[in-house]
Amino acid sequence: MSIIENILAFIVVIGILVTVHEFGHYWVARRLGVKILRFSVGFGYPLWSHCFGKDKTEFMIAAIPLGGYVKMLDEREDEVAPEEVHRAFNRQSLKVRSAIVFAGPLFNFIFAIIVYAMMYMIGVTGMKAFVGDIEPQSVAEQSGFQSGYQIVAVNNKPTLHWENIIQTTLEQVLSEKDTVTYSVLTEQNRQYDLNIDLNSFTIDDIAGGKFFEKIGFKPYRPPPPAMLGKIMLDSPAQKAGFQAGDIILALDGQKVTDWYSWADYVKQRPEQKIAVDIKRNQQNLSLTVIPANVEGKGQVGVYGPTDYMIPEKYQGLEQYGLGQALVEGTKKSWEISVLTLQVMAKMLTLQVSYEHISGPITIAEFAGKTAQLGISSFLAFLGLISVSLGIINLLPVPLLDGGHLFFYLIEFIKGSPVAENTEYFLQRIGITLLLCLMGLAIFNDLERLFS
């Protein structure tokens, strides 16, 4: 079922972003007097099409949801009636053609700002940056971190969630800075700065999800209470008389503080009797359970509480009104754009592994996951992909919008269009580059999927 959900989420994400991108081309072209013949979301076999407007523009949804296009009246592709020559794309001025081509990526950036603004208006909830266990001899220990500290700012930039801290640290690594300054709040509400040495960090470490491993501490997560959720059928717990909602008070006379202490105690005692003191509906009871032996570990067949709410002390809500949300959405789009360009530059200089290039399978997986996490997470993912799509399309690669804009720049400099043979040759190179990039992305996807 999750595979189907991922595919549907992928189609929704790509469908929205392609429609936004192509609508940019369409809207600007229409406003500047160019005739539109077809607006297609997707490639290949048409699943649906209909003609609208006085120009009978065909709007189409096609079978392959990996892009789209806007087909304009153009003498280089079809014969054009004399009375409509002035509406052909190839007859437009350099400024008009450039504006039409640039509009697609521009609309992706505008859409990202709107999406991020919506996300901030709804509210972004995440775990505050409380430090958990510290690894001995780690960067964190050497810098003076202690369990219980809360990171409240990075380089004097206030932070609410771990995501902000990781992103800002990545920015410092990309900029080849030697240190980053974390402002921490102690349990006694004293605030001071700690400097982290970044010389042992690499971009691949952070991009590969090894931030906490490299820095040497774990994020603190308050443990759930020792309250039973679902009881599995024919399990030792059911046979012993446990019920959903029971609160574990003690095991063999030893007090239980949270779910982890209860689970660890059971794991260490397969096929051994355990006296369990519980609380059920304001009544204290005593039961005896014998955990099953599953690969050398004790199991009783219970789930944790599904409705457990993390205490507000550990949750951070970032929420703004419309005006400030637009400001924050613009900042977020700019930060993601700069970060993406920096990573691309590092890849070209072989300072970042190409293993981090992702394709449609990874996008589908994350689309499904963020959709399940809630609207704010899904909007954040939508904004990220929209920014990425805008940047990729502005790369000076033939067939992409950036390639066309590069040709127009040459035309502006030399005073005449690029020769058709030259443009055709460069487009073939562009197709080869894009196919190689797509092949690498899909290879990385499959390797991650089966590793």
The DSSP code for 281 is T
- The Cβ of residue 312 has, within 10 Å, a number of other Cβ atoms equal to 9
CB 340 within 8 A of CB 150: no
Whether the Cβ atoms of residue 197 and residue 180 lie closer than 8 Å to each other? no
Catalytic residues, by residue number, are 22
Distance, CA of 69 to CA of 176 (rounded, Å): 40
The CB density around residue 346, as the number of other CB atoms within 10 Å, is 18
CA-CA distance, 293 to 448, in Å (whole number)? 33
Q: How many CB atoms lie within 10 A of CB 357?
A: 19
What distance separates the 2 farthest-apart alpha carbons in the chain? 95
Contact (CB, 8 A) for 41 and 62? yes
Buried b / exposed e over 18-34, threshold 16 CB at 10 Å, is bbbbbbbbbebbbebeb
Judge whether 127 and 221 are in contact, CB under 8 Å. yes
Q: Alpha-carbon distance 365 to 360, whole Å?
A: 9
Contacts of 217 by beta carbon, 8 Å cutoff, 6+ apart: 131, 132, 133, 134, 135, 138, 140, 145, 147
Gap between the Cα atoms of 117 and 331, Å rounded = 10
Report the distance separating Cα 129 and Cα 259, nearest Å: 22
User: Any idea what DSSP says for residue 296?
Assistant: T
Distance of CA 174 to the CA centre of its chain: 19
Between CA 239 and CA 290 the distance in angstroms is: 9
CA distance 274 to 278: 12
Q: Which two tokens stand for residue 26?
A: 């369409």
Judge contact between 392 and 67, C-beta under 8 A: no
- Beta-carbon contacts of residue 79 (< 8 Å; ≥ 6 apart): none
CA geometry: angle 274, 279, 283, nearest 5 deg: 125
